């Protein structure tokens, strides 16, 4: 049985502060602590300036290092990502650059922490108040230069987060993906099967969005305009990733053929696309012949013969004929794969 799909994992990514915002945050925090120390260090043997500068260094280091570490910890690790979201990441921002940027942020977090320890030691050894202040300035200079180095990575992650966090979550339900040429009757069939207007969820890989509907039993039916509606060889790189992403979403395919050819595609073209989808997707396929309310469809017998190795159901969305049988078979096929348990989760 397939792995449970989590909600959009990128939602957990924290807001990415730009390096100067991070420096400001650290500065404000260290000034606040310094203010408190000015009133509470009376009577101590260590000179006040040393205590204050040391605290400023340690506070700055921990604010920056912790903020950077939080980015790394709250960002989902690519290796553990649900494959659907991994494809989305690849399509939207590129996973290599994403990995590289996270590694740079982790590196910076560690370096800033080390600099904090190193300069805290230096300040303690400084011979005079002027010297402590010089040590702290040097520390700030080194931290700024580390942050400057990771500026492109932070900017990249900021943009990536804003793009990724808004991707709609695909529910972790038994899922049927509808495929077939344009105009064969896919969206009408989706509406008929689910008795409702589908939700339109926008994803980066298709300008038309995915139309998602739910049957009363809780099955998720996904229509994929622009993704599974023409031959693979006509696709560019992004579209190929989209096919792969959809592959991860589907527990089965409902392939729709319009034997009337009113859709503008011949039966042969539609059959060939079906064969291609079968090679690409490793899930059960059910074929629906639509528009069966149309009289005397020429060549229907030959098509049915060609479809011999597939399970085929005839339907008319207009007359609501064959719909109950189709819904039942979808349930059976998903059940045979042990997926109906997802409904109880």
Ligand X SMILES: Nc1nc2c(ncn2[C@@H]2O[C@H](COP(=O)(O)OP(=O)(O)OP(=O)(O)O)[C@@H](O)[C@H]2O)c(=O)[nH]1
27 binds ligand X (CB under 6 A): no
Q: Between residues 19 and 185, which has the closer beta carbon with respect to ligand X?
A: 185
- Count CB-CB contacts under 10 A for residue 144: 13
- The residue from 15, 162, 169, 183 that contacts ligand X (CB under 6 A) is 183
Contacts of residues 153-156 at CB distance under 8 Å and 24 or more positions apart, as own/partner, are 153/100, 153/101, 153/102, 153/104, 153/105, 154/16, 154/17, 154/18, 154/19, 154/101, 154/105, 155/18, 156/93, 156/97, 156/98, 156/101
Q: Binding to ligand X by residue 290, rule CB under 6 A?
A: yes
Compute the distance between CA of residue 173 and CA of residue 105 in angstroms, rounded to an integer.
Answer: 36
185 touching ligand X, by CB under 6 A: yes
Task: Give the nearer residue to ligand X in terms of CB position, either 47 or 182.
Answer: 182
Stretch binding ligand X (CB under 6 A), from 91-99, 288-296, 304-312, 324-332: 288-296
**Which pairing describes strands 252-257 and 199-203: parallel, antiparallel, or unpaired?**
unpaired
Q: How does DSSP classify residue 168?
A: P
Answer yes or no whether residue 184 interacts with ligand X by CB under 6 A: yes
- Work out whether 153 is an interface residue with ligand X (CB under 6 A): no
Smallest gap from Cβ 232 to ligand X, in A, equals: 17
Question: What distance in Å separates the CA atoms of residue 326 and residue 324, rounded to the nearest whole number?
Answer: 5
Any contact of residue 318 with ligand X (CB under 6 A)? Answer: yes
Closest separation in Å from C-beta 269 to ligand X = 14
| Contact region with ligand X (CB under 6 A), list: 33-41, 55-63, 302-310, 316-324 | 316-324
Instruction: Tell the smallest beta-carbon distance from residue 272 to ligand X (Å).
Output: 17
- Does residue 199 touch ligand X according to CB under 6 A? no
Alpha helix (H) residue ranges in 8-128:
19-40, 48-74, 83-92, 95-125
7's tokens: 């909600």
| Residue 321: CB minimum distance to ligand X, A | 8
- Chain residues binding ligand X by CB under 6 A are 182-188, 225, 229, 290-291, 293-294, 316-318
């Amino acid at each position: 049985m397939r792995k449970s799909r989590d909600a959009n994992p990128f939602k957990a990514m924290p807001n990415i502060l730009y390096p100067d915002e991070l420096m400001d945050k650290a500065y404000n925090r260290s000034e606040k602590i310094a203010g408190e120390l000015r009133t509470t260090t009376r009577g101590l043997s260590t000179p006040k300036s040393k205590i204050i500068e040391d605290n400023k260094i340690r506070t700055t280091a921990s604010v920056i290092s912790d903020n950077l570490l939080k980015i790394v910890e709250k960002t989902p690790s690519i290796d553990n990502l649900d494959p659907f979201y991994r494809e989305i990441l690849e399509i939207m921002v590129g996973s290599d650059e994403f990995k590289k940027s996270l590694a740079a942020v982790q590196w910076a977090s560690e370096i800033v922490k080390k600099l904090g320890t190193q300069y805290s030691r230096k300040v303690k050894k400084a011979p005079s108040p002027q010297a402590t202040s010089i040590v702290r300035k040097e520390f700030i200079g080194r931290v700024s230069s580390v942050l400057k180095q990771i500026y492109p990575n932070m900017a990249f992650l900021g943009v990536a987060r804003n793009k990724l966090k808004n991707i709609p979550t695909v529910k972790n339900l038994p899922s049927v993906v509808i495929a077939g040429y344009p105009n064969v009757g896919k969206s009408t069939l989706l509406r008929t099967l689910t008795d409702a207007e589908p939700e339109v969820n926008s994803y980066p890989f298709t300008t038309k969005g995915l139309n998602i509907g739910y049957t009363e039993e809780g099955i998720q039916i996904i229509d994929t305009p622009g993704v599974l509606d023409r031959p693979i060889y006509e696709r560019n790189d992004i579209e190929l990733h989209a096919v792969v992403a959809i592959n991860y979403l589907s527990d089965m395919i409902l392939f729709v053929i319009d034997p009337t050819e009113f859709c503008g595609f011949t039966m042969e073209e539609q059959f060939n696309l079906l064969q291609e989808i079968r090679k690409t997707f490793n899930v059960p396929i059910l074929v629906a012949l639509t528009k069966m309310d149309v009289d005397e469809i020429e060549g229907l017998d030959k098509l049915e013969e060609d479809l011999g190795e597939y399970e085929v159901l005839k339907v008319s969305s207009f007359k609501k004929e064959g719909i109950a049988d189709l819904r039942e078979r979808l349930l059976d096929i998903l059940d045979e794969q042990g997926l109906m348990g997802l409904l109880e989760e």
